[in-house]
Structure 1
């Protein structure tokens, strides 16, 4: 059975069971209660309060981030400087958009069936690869920075506050990302401005609003299947409904939602740059039977023509690069050819 969007099929009562297109292989299915975020192992939570004006505090935060990147590839941020009022407004207009009638949402539909970093607009998630199961969710995707890459005709004017709110939101997340670049650089023993200078006018950002409707058989499908992020750094807001899980030591660890926090993770390009010191980590999104779930992800990636290779200072005199150099555009194309395929796309450039 083919459906235009998962949300509409669920809300119209069309789906009493999961269609075959969405059923994932048995070995890839999540075990246990899909609404359970209990775990004896928890993601590090890092408080950014005072990081800009207190040297001692900054050194402590840098070390916490360094350790989180070494051990997890993920961490949560609180007191991050993004106004909570703005976060709430962004969440509100995102929910309001997905509450609109299908005909209104389709005014902003993706214009092509090919999925890539350049794809913008409203639609269902891309498959991991041809013949694989579809993900149980819909998206609104926008390229946001630099401003020149925006396609404003695909930015909703309904709800009326949507465009203005997203513009404010992505500017704040850009500031947070630049601060993260500084803290990551320091943790790597580099000049604080190393990453910011390296990617000055050479990176791009995309925001993706993910909407995961309730699912009649959540054990058979995924909101998004296991993958690592292909870019540099991801800044994610997740709502209070659990679903995000990350892979650690052979187990899937739930990421408990923390109010007004962001989840940060290292992408594949950062793994290449650090010569594997910081590694991207597979993660996935579960769905549940009773509640819709939403997340808003902001991805920072190099421009397509930027050559990515291990930073010489991080290779070391008696070491060798662990990755071939590649342009981000070439890597991105490989990623979207393979889709949500764990970290298979990184293996192709490992030495």
Structure 2
């Protein structure tokens, strides 16, 4: 199937516990995941005060001098947390993205066993020396993460599984929040702000502040995602594509270059690092699975290590290594399905 617009799904019945409307919302989410891989989520219940606090923190951080932001450079981290300067991230051999970012995740203590064991994605955040920054950012993270767990259970039900089929694997996952800044550029050209890609986790909940996001349909056309101030953009990630054997698709997307200043806040919802993700039996026919299984955290690290300059340098120097059977960049999603069979 192809699509020419992005569906809007009101999830109020899910977040409010309204059992009378719940089944209809679950069915809508399932259709959006099967047919598009994207949806605009309204009625989500996230407090606008938390959104305002996050935006204020982002504006103040990205207004800092470059040397102050580089004090928390992501390359100083051992668990992929901190400031991402322009040009640091490159998708699948494309031109460097025209953006800067700050990456964080579940803030575990420095004596947490996973961090002490050298897990490359878990541990403490690297916070900037900026007043009133980490508190509003963490408050927003916790609220949207809670929304993500509600949607994860709904996706399981839409697939005919028990509500906790995926949620049982959510305790301390590497679920990353990115604070992304696209600077004002009056000479904006066709060069992308973020190149075409799929997301590596289970799904993403994105809060943008301006237009620019585009989604690839089955005909190879780029479809605009209209900006809505009251909506999160939800998109299916690699792991749900693998778990459903392609029934849910990690639709490729990009950010086109726009002149106006733009902020974007994706929370990449994930399951625990060591979760094994294989196609569920109900979606595998006599021809066998279309996808080889992955370990959730290893897949995320492999994709990340192939797209960040500081990690590619560590790979080249032999300081780190990709997990066994790491997938190449951009090997999942609707565009990959159009060009070659999934493996």
**TM-score, structure 1 as length reference:** 0.78
1:214 to 184, 191, 196: 184
Pairing of 1:78-117 with structure 2 (within 5 A): 78-112=42-76
Spell out, residue by residue over 1:253-304, the C-alpha distance to the aligned partner (whole angstroms, 9 max, x if none): 1111111311111000110001110010100012223x21110111122344
Distance of aligned partners of 1:104 and 1:301 in 2 relative to their CA distance in 1, 3 Å threshold: same
Match of 2:303? 335
Ranges in structure 2 where 5+ consecutive residues have no aligned partner:
113-121, 309-327
Match of 2:229? 259
Match of 1:242? 211
Structure 2 contact 46–143 (Cα < 8 Å) conserved: yes
Structure 2 contact 174–273 (Cα < 8 Å) conserved: no
1:300 to 266, 269, 275: 269
SS in 2 for 1:263: strand
**TM-score, structure 2 as length reference:** 0.80
Distance across 2 between alignment mates of 1:293 and 1:200: 31
Distance of aligned partners of 1:300 and 1:230 in 2 relative to their CA distance in 1, 3 Å threshold: same
Farther-moved stretch of structure 1 (229-238 vs 86-95): 86-95
Distance across 2 between alignment mates of 1:171 and 1:192: 21
Spell out, residue by residue over 1:206-251, the C-alpha distance to the aligned partner (whole angstroms, 9 max, x if none): 1111111123543242111000001101111000x21111111321
Structure 2 contact 216–252 (Cα < 8 Å) conserved: yes
Q: How many equivalent pairs are there? A: 302
Instruction: Give the CA deviation at 1:49.
Output: 1.7
Match of 1:140? 102
SS in 1 for 2:180: strand
Distance across 2 between alignment mates of 1:207 and 1:73: 20
Distance across 2 between alignment mates of 1:301 and 1:172: 15
Distance across 1 between alignment mates of 2:123 and 2:206: 20
What is the aligned-residue RMSD (CA, Å)? Answer: 2.6
Instruction: Give yes or no for the alignment of 1:288 onto 2:258.
Output: yes
Structure 2 contact 306–329 (Cα < 8 Å) conserved: no
Structure 2 contact 201–238 (Cα < 8 Å) conserved: yes
Instruction: Give the CA deviation at 1:61.
Output: 0.3
Match of 1:279? 249
Distance across 1 between alignment mates of 2:298 and 2:18: 41
Structure 2 contact 108–124 (Cα < 8 Å) conserved: no
Instruction: Give the CA deviation at 1:329.
Output: 4.1
Distance across 1 between alignment mates of 2:282 and 2:162: 11
Match of 1:37? none
Farther-moved stretch of structure 1 (324-333 vs 95-104): 324-333
Farther-moved stretch of structure 1 (181-190 vs 212-221): 212-221
Pairing of 1:164-243 with structure 2 (within 5 A): 164-197=135-168, 199-201=169-171, 203-239=173-209, 241-243=210-212
Match of 2:38? 74
SS in 1 for 2:41: strand
Spell out, residue by residue over 1:296-343, the C-alpha distance to the aligned partner (whole angstroms, 9 max, x if none): 111122344322111223335x45211112223443344235539873
Structure 1 contact 338–345 (Cα < 8 Å) conserved: no
Structure 2 contact 188–257 (Cα < 8 Å) conserved: yes
2:80 to 113, 119, 135: 119
Structure 1 contact 129–337 (Cα < 8 Å) conserved: no
Match of 1:162? 133
Structure 2 contact 92–330 (Cα < 8 Å) conserved: no
Distance of aligned partners of 1:258 and 1:122 in 2 relative to their CA distance in 1, 3 Å threshold: same
Match of 2:293? 325
Distance of aligned partners of 1:66 and 1:170 in 2 relative to their CA distance in 1, 3 Å threshold: same
